[in-house]
Amino acid sequence: MKAELITIGDEILIGQIVDTNSTWISRKLIDLGIDIWQIRSISDKKEDIINAIRSTKADLVIITGGLGPTSDDLTKHTLAEYFNSKLVLNNEVLAHIEQLLVGRGVVVNDMNREQALLPDNAEFLENISGTAAGMWFEKDNKHFISLPGVPFEMKGIMRNEVIPRLIERFNTSAILYRTIMTQGLPESMLAMKIKSWEEQLPNEIKLAYLPRPGIVRLRLTAEGDDKRILVKIIEKEIKKLYQIIPQYIYAFEDIPLEKVVADLLIEQGLTVSTAESCTGGQISSMLTSISGSSAYYHGSIISYSNSIKNKYLEVPLEVLIEEGAVSKKVVEQMSKVIREKLTTNLSIAVSGIAGPDGGTKDKPVGTVWISVSSDNKTVSKKFLFGEDRGRNITRASLSALNMLRLFILNKI
């Protein structure tokens, strides 16, 4: 079965709000073994709504938005016209609307009562959280479901009304997704490293590469008739993959690297501080983005200039002159001093050339040195990231966090 999701609303098209409904619905449908064929956002115009549902090639169409009580909400009237329906009063829906609004201290008006007018040839889908009921139409062996655009109302109808009906009516195949998060290898190098494993994947499993700066997600999709068998197959392949690239895999679900690092720090009762130059505080920002970060994060010195490196991180001027700020000796001194000054178990230090200016033949733009240290061990590494400033900062920050992760796990 193929599904299409259509979101209605000019506010989405002009970027005033983000369409989170389609993301949520698509995940629920995928869990049921329903393929997502297409996702579209369209305007509130009657002709656009009709053209969208008339042109669909999907077996199941879920429409969100345009079911409110005001004059700009045209979805219900447009669908009634398209499906040759008459709007008739649904007393059950009216009773619910009156009870809901009176309970909220709202005087029920004619506009509210009109929401109880529903197409006579559609199943109504109860909305226990709001006044706009959902509707389920059928035409030419296709199923059309209309839901309110308010996310918590839409989710309630999906959980209570739509998903149970889909399970009851359709014998869908099982589809299973797993995401493996990797850091430290660009997409092309990662693909070469796991090429043999990928070529030997069972026919039931498909692999997709989903890269972003500093991170490559590997998405495994398994499809078949028995979900239990698929789970065994996909878990077996993940174990094989881990044996090939254990140091690059940091999670087996789509979660931020900083969350993985935070969990490790809390689990082992460790604290960390940072000394940042080219990353300008991004590592600190990532570490403190996790709730409860005060348990493991003490603070940072952003030493962007050489004078700050010298004065507060005690990097000797002769080292800065002879080795340059972007060097192993400098970041190791930065990591040592910040750890001692802020009394943490661990520390991260970063210095690099983010660009687009400042590069030389020996140290081109994108050159970054990262150091991670404890009181008895220091590990430093040089990276060459590229020429884009924003990407360099992101990659350096992620690489630093991954080095910290591996350091804690005694893998570097």
User: 39-55 pLDDT, tens per residue?
Assistant: 999 999 999 999 999 99
pLDDT at 273 over 80: yes
Domain check: are 301 and 364 in the same one?
Answer: yes
152 & 280 share domain: no
Whether 337 and 392 share a structural domain = yes
Answer yes or no: do 52 and 127 share one domain: yes
The pLDDT, as a whole number, for residue 87 is 95
Q: Quick one: 12 and 153 in the same domain? A: yes
40 and 155 housed in the same domain: yes
Please state, for a pLDDT cut of 90, what percent of the chain lies above it.
88
Q: Is 82 helix (H, G, I), strand (E, B) or coil?
A: helix
Stretch 11-30: mean pLDDT, rounded?
92
Q: Total domain count for the chain?
A: 3
**Residue linked to tokens 């150091």:** 371
pLDDT of the residue at 357: 93
The region that residue 309 occupies, defined by phi over 0 for left and psi between -120 and 50 for alpha, beta otherwise, is alpha
134 and 180 fall within a common domain: no
Instruction: Give pLDDT, residue 224.
Output: 83
Domain ranges, residue 190? 174-251
Q: Picking from 34-38, 106-110, 204-208, 301-305, which range would have the lowest pLDDT averaged per residue? A: 106-110
- For residues 297 and 395, state if they share a domain: yes
Q: Burial code of 243-262, b = ≥16 C-beta within 10 A, e = fewer?
A: eebeebbbbeeeebbbebbb
> Do 356 and 389 have their domain in common?
yes
Closest C-alpha among 39, 43, 41, 40 to residue 10: 43
Q: Is the dihedral of CA 144, 148, 150, 154 positive or negative?
A: negative
User: Among the three residues 195, 216, 251, which one is the final residue of a domain in this structure?
Assistant: 251
CATH (domain of 113): 3.40.980.10
Domain stops at, among 169, 203, 229: 169
Q: State the CATH number of the domain containing residue 246.
A: 3.30.70.2860
Q: Identify whether residues 25 and 40 lie together within a single domain.
A: yes
Over residues 307-321, the mean pLDDT reads 97
Residue pair 191/221 in contact by the 8 Å Cβ criterion: no
What CATH code is carried by the domain that includes residue 352?
3.90.950.20
**Within this chain, do residues 394 and 282 fall inside the same structural domain, yes or no?**
yes
- Phi and psi at 340, nearest 5°, equal -70, -45
pLDDT digit string (tens) for 241-256?
A: 999 999 999 999 999 9
Three-state secondary structure call for residue 225: coil
- The predicted model gives 299-319 an average pLDDT of 97
Phi/psi at 275 (nearest 5 deg)?
-125, 110
The pLDDT value recorded for residue 226 is 83
Per-residue pLDDT of 155-187, as tens digits, reads 999 999 999 999 888 877 677 889 999 999 999
Q: In Å, how far from its chain's centre is CA 84?
A: 41
Is 72's pLDDT higher than 90? no
Residue 136: the pLDDT is 98
CA distances from 225 to 32, 181, 229, 348, 410 (A): 12, 27, 9, 49, 42
What mean pLDDT, rounded, does the chain reach? 95
Q: Pairing relation of β-strands 134-139 and 142-147?
A: antiparallel
How distant is the alpha carbon of residue 35 from its chain centre? Answer: 20
- The reply to whether 153 and 38 lie within a common domain is yes
